[in-house]
Amino acid sequence: MSRYERMSAKFFSGNRKSFMKQMVKGSMAIFHSNDVMPRSADGHHPFRQNPDFYYLTGIDQEECILILYPDAPTKAQREILFLRETNEMIAVWEGAKIDMKQGTAISGIEHVKWNDSFESTVAHLSNTVSSFYLNMNENDRAHSELETKDVRFAKEMQSKYPLHNYHRSAPIISYQRSIKQQEEIDVMQKACDITEKAFRRVLSATKPGMKEYEVEAEIISTFIKHGATGHAYSPIIASGANACVLHYVANDQVCRDGDLLLMDFGSEYACYASDLSRTIPVNGRFTERQKEVYNACLNIHNEAKAMLSPGMTLNEFNAEVKSMMGAALVDIKLIDKKASKEERMRLTQKYFPHGTSHFMGIDVHDVGARYGKIEENMCFTIEPGIYIREEGIGVRIENDIIVKKGKNIDLMENIPITVAEIEELMNN
């Protein structure tokens, strides 16, 4: 029994076939589940599966391994899934793990073994293999001081098999993951629908005097109630001047009468993320200045959403939106219309210091080629923001978009976004 409705084994089988078609002849690819990360004492952080491993298997469990060897001597060796074997103690303390039959049902992999046979299996097959594909987190925004399982395993393999050739799995699977299939879009829509329920709950609950973490509590309770596994990332619940801190996550201040409340949150469902930003008036009514700033940001959001299309690069798109924002900031009197080009660029960066979009998928900041051409069925956020520290105003508006050759699909099109919608729901 799973908290969420599992994706089909056919989906994961198709992903493996697509990956194997791009492997060089005589090669083997190996993928690991994520580490279980220690917290302190005998505790651990909640487990979060390696997204590449999940994309190829559907297995959301620790201590699992996948071998892909399309040119293997026998059919049984072309796809092998290794699972953590359950024993009586594990069953009592943690609950039973996925067994071999369940592993096949979830992943579509017929040949399943316990993970204690992995090393001997690789040793046995290594004589018939000319090269290995090893996986690594190559997200261009990644930074970690920890040595991950993938890093440790790469060192181990190169030590044991120094005469073999080695290839990177990341360029292949990152591109695969960036093009969303319909089953993925359906799951992401489910995550966005749950996020919508949470936002509507917030609109009905928020009032002056609440703590930011009380708003956060309304969100997470709605997520769990509707089958999400939790937050897709650490939520930002930023009232007043806190909204001008881009990655504010303390969420511990009072939401005061007359302030805006910027929220950036999204549910995770079936290992896929959603990512919403909305800004609302704590007391249910925007002031004229707040409304002016909000509508300027919303206009940029709508223009950017319409402009995002196949053929441009993400960097080109972000630059175009930055230019549009410069003009909007003149309209709301944050930039003098007589300012030089250099001054306009400087002030635009001051009031809008981040990019407009990032890839979305299993990870909220998903893999994708920043310098490659945007293609149909890629998923991006659209999230312009205006942050006026001197006025204590921060506004960000964000939806998740599937790129199409015609009209893009807005996975959050039903989530209230206009001043009128927000005020009406907050005052009903």
Domain boundary among 176, 208, 225: 176
The dihedral formed by the CA atoms of 323, 324, 326 and 327, expressed in degrees to the nearest 10: 130
Q: Is 280 helix (H, G, I), strand (E, B) or coil?
A: strand
Check residue 28 and report its DSSP letter: E
Query: What is the Cα–Cα distance from 355 to 304, expressed in whole angstroms?
Result: 12
Q: Kind and range of the H or E element at 394?
A: strand 393-396
How is 298-318 classified by DSSP, letter by letter? HHHHHHHHHH--TTSBHHHHH
% of residues, the chain, pLDDT over 90: 90
Residue 157 CA to residue 148 CA, distance in Å, equals 14
Confidence band of 253 (pLDDT split at 50, 70, 90): very high
- Count the domains in the chain: 2
Provide φ and ψ at 21, rounded to 5°.
Answer: -60, -25
Q: How many CB atoms lie within 10 A of CB 313?
A: 14
- The count of other CB atoms within 10 Å of the CB of residue 276 is 27
Do both 106 and 242 map to the same domain? no
**Pair (191, 168) in one structural domain:** no
Please enumerate in sequence order all residues whose Cβ is within 8 A of that of 247, keeping only pairs 6 or more positions apart, or say none.
236
Residue 3 lies in a domain: no
Q: What is the mean pLDDT of residues 69-76?
A: 96
Q: Are 84 and 215 part of one and the same domain?
A: no
Residues 175-197: tens digit of each pLDDT: 999 999 999 999 999 999 999 99
In the predicted model, is pLDDT for residue 65 greater than 70? Answer: yes
Domain around 66: 9-176
CA distance linking residue 308 with residue 108, whole number of Å: 36
Q: What is the dihedral of CA 294, 295, 298, 302, to 10 degrees?
A: 180
91 pLDDT above the threshold of 80: no
Q: How many whole angstroms from its chain centre is CA 106?
A: 22
Strand partners, 29: 68, 133
Q: Are residues 299 and 231 in the same domain?
A: yes
User: Going edge to edge, which strands form the sheet with 409-410?
Assistant: 379-382, 399-402, 409-410
**Do residues 356 and 401 share a domain?**
yes
Sign of the four-CA dihedral 84, 106, 187, 361: positive
Q: Are residues 125 and 213 in the same domain?
A: no
Q: What is the DSSP string of 87-149?
A: -HHHHHHT-PPP-HHHHHHHH--SEEEEGGGHHHHHHHHHTT-SEEEE-----TT---SS--H
Please answer whether residues 242 and 248 qualify as being in contact, where contact means their C-beta atoms are separated by less than 8 angstroms: yes
Q: Can you say whether the dihedral through the CA atoms of 414, 418, 422, 423 is positive or negative?
A: negative
Q: Would you say residue 4 lies in a domain?
A: no
Co-location of 21 and 100 in the same domain: yes
Model pLDDT for residues 204-219, shown as the tens digit of each residue: 999 999 999 999 999 9
What CATH number does the domain containing 137 carry? 3.40.350.10
pLDDT at 1 over 60: no
Instruction: Let me know whether 41 and 74 are in one domain.
Output: yes
Tell me, yes or no, whether 138 lies in a domain: yes
- Report pLDDT digits (tens) over 287-326: 999 999 999 999 999 999 999 999 999 999 999 999 999 9
Residues 150 and 190 reside in one and the same domain: no
Which stretch of DSSP H or E encloses residue 174?
helix 170-178
Collapsed DSSP state (helix, strand, coil) of residue 247: coil
